[in-house]
Structure 1
Amino acid sequence: MDLAYIPSPSRGVLNLGPIPLRAYAFCIIIGVVVAVWLGSKRWVARGGGRHTVGDIAVWAVPFGLVGGRIYHVITDNQLYFGEGKHPLDALKIWEGGLGIWGAIAFGAVGAWIGARRRGVPLPAYADAIAPGIALAQACGRWGNWFNQELYGRPTTLPWGLKIDKTLADGTVVQGVYHPTFLYESIWCVLVAVLVIWADKRFTLGHGRAFALYVAAYTVGRFWTEWLRIDEAHRFFGLRLNDWTAILVFVGAVVAFVVVGKRHPGREDPDSIDPQATKERAEAAAAEAGEPAADAPSDAAPERAKDAEQPGEAPVELSKDSEKPS
């Protein structure tokens, strides 16, 4: 008999009349809100506008959700395709299944589109939003707790996770397992703290804070993935996501080092958000009662005319002065 363990919720859906309220979706929404809130604070501190992060997130979030689902369906296709499976289940995102690798990749495409429309350099935006993404992942992992999924090996530790569920194929799972969702959630919080600290301590810029986030996250993900026992494709003894974590870690470290040599320091605050810089200049000019820089005053033409006639005009000699004495 287990003396202590973390209980799993009896259900992950609350029906409000005909409308199902799913805890998994709420965890994702909370994560998005936290990421945008923290990202906006960091962006403004870097010299950007208050609404820039939210405007770009409108593009990044939908792309990220689609990308995360595509990655999950491709890498876990055995869950949706084949004999006795239902391909339409691949569309049921509320039942869980978002691959972070696909979410980041596709989310970056969406962010690039939004940043390009706003005139914002993507690396600077990525640096500002990086710790917020880590916190969003920390929130999202609790959706796995509500769905009783992505747990690890059996354990007798007091913080083990109690699982009692019936799988789609009728298999009953009961026991106490490693709460890998909790491990990864805690790790993501630590990653966010690390990125915020390193960013302030070493003035990271040009995408280096984002690269640090990616590298740090993959270290913890490799360990939690190693603990998991759910069905997954394996190559040379390692799960597919472990291999992905290794490759992404190497890429992030290389990017961090190379970019640091080519672009030390951080971007000029006035260059990361041209629209916000212009708005600040206009607001400052209006407060000072001065005309905007691109709207010359009525006196400008007169000043220009005077500038064309430097010095005093020559004195005209009288006729008498022209005669020799």
Structure 2
Amino acid sequence: METSIQPLDRVFLHLGPITIYWYGVIIGTGVLLGLWLATREAVRRGLAKETFVDLVLLAVPIAIICARAYYVLFEWEYYSQHLSDIPKIWEGGLAIHGGLIGAIVTGIVFAKRRGLSFWKLADIAAPSIILGQAIGRWGNFMNQEAHGGPVTRAFLERLHLPDVIINQMYIDGQYYHPTFLYESIWNITGFCFLLLLRRVNLRRGELFLSYLVWYSVGRFFIEGMRTDSLMLTEHLRMAQVMSLALIVLAVSIGVVRRVKGLAAERYLD
């Protein structure tokens, strides 16, 4: 029965010579939904309606470039021999940590030039970012990537997964852990958690720092299950190192900002 299983078509639409892939459509959907949510919250927090539209028009292209550059850097042994493959982001290979770094730097510069608080923008954007990440993981699903180690079909059935997910996890004669799904669920839960934190009236910046901690904790453990990790050394997974670094950094920044009185303003002020 397994030998007859065919993967889902990665192509969403053909427009003449242009091919649109599900990977791009899904990531784009996450960006648009996140933008809609952030814009609504920005208006509630007294910012101009176009603030996040302007930010996204800058941050998304830069984040994609940084996400690809980060991935290519750690896979340079392959890409140095296949330079023409570097632009092929539709085939996957966008490292979230690289994109996050690019987006944060863009946000800092954008806030400074607009005379806005970066922490205020980051707090508003935090739920949108993690929601976009949750949706984006389904692009990995369509590409049959970002999966874990081998499992049996019986194992996947015990998780009560629909056949479409189970069958898509059948790759080259073997079933695999749907780690994309584990992370997507973790991120959706984090999205709900951050929405609840909005009512707590945290100090400015702490909603975004909470996002960094939540995402990084889940990513650390789920990354340990994956078979396609970017490796820093033979035994160190880059995403796990980055996750630990972000947890320490986020907690440290939160403590320092409180101690030094840099977080006197609160989210709902």
Q: TM-score range by the shorter chain?
A: 0.7 to 0.9
2:93 maps to 97
**Counterparts of 1:206 and 1:114 in 2: how far apart (Å)?**
18
Give the AA of the match of 1:253. V
Relative to total residues, which structure has the larger helix share, 1 or 2?
Answer: 2
> Does structure 1 conserve the Cα–Cα contact (< 8 Å) formed by 2:69 and 2:98?
yes
The alignment status of 1:136 with 2:132, answered yes or no, reads yes
Alignment of 1:41-120 (within 5 A): 41-81=40-80, 85-120=81-116
Alignment of 1:11-50 (within 5 A): 11-50=10-49
Which amino acid in 1 is paired with 2:252? V
Match of 2:206 among 200, 205, 208: 208
Q: CA deviation at 1:115?
A: 2.2
1:184-213: CA deviation from partner (whole Å, max 9, x where unpaired): 111111111111212212x12431111100
1:78 offset after TM fit, Å? 2.9
The aligned residue for residue 238 of structure 2 is 240
Contact 2:212 2:247 in 1 (8 A): yes
In structure 1, what is the Cα distance between the partners aligned to 2:229 and 2:137?
A: 18
C-alpha contact 1:138 1:189 (8 A) present in aligned 2: yes
CA distance, structure 1, for counterparts of residue 144 and residue 87 of structure 2? 19
* Cα distance in 2, alignment partners of residues 112 and 162 from structure 1: 40
Count of residue pairs the alignment pairs up? 255
Gapped regions of structure 1 (runs ≥ 5): 166-172, 270-325
Amino acid at match of 2:251: V
Select the structure of larger CA radius of gyration: 1
Name the % identity.
36
Q: Distance in 1 between matches of 2:79 and 2:183?
A: 26
Of 238-247 and 213-222, deviating more is 238-247
1:266 maps to a residue whose letter is R
| Residue correspondence of structure 1 range 99-248 to structure 2 within 5 A | 99-156=95-152, 157=155, 158=157, 159=161, 160=166, 162-163=168-169, 173-201=172-200, 203-230=201-228, 232-233=230-231, 235=233, 237-248=235-246
Task: Letter of the 1:46 partner, please give it.
Answer: R
Alpha-carbon distance in 2 for matches of 1:11, 1:134? 24
Letter in 2 for 1:61: V
Deviation readout 1:41-71 (Å, 9 max, x if unpaired): 2222222222211112221111111111111
Normalised TM-score (structure 1):
0.72
Task: Say if 1:149 and 1:39 are closer, same or farther in 2 by CA, change over 3 A.
Answer: same
Please name the residue that 2:247 is paired with.
249
Say if 1:205 and 1:48 are closer, same or farther in 2 by CA, change over 3 A: farther
Matches of 1:78 and 1:142, distance apart in 2: 27
Could you tell me how far 1:214 is from its partner in structure 2? 0.6
Task: Give the TM-score taking structure 2 as reference length.
Answer: 0.86
Report the 3-state secondary structure (helix = DSSP H, G, I; strand = E; otherwise coil) of the residue aligned with 2:62.
Answer: helix
Return closer, same or farther for 1:53/1:10 CA change in 2, 3 Å cut-off: closer
Q: Where in structure 2 are there 5+ consecutive unaligned residues? A: none
Whole-angstrom CA distance in 2 between matches of 1:243 and 1:37: 32
- The answer on whether the counterparts of 2:141 and 2:168 sit within 8 Å (CA) in structure 1 is no
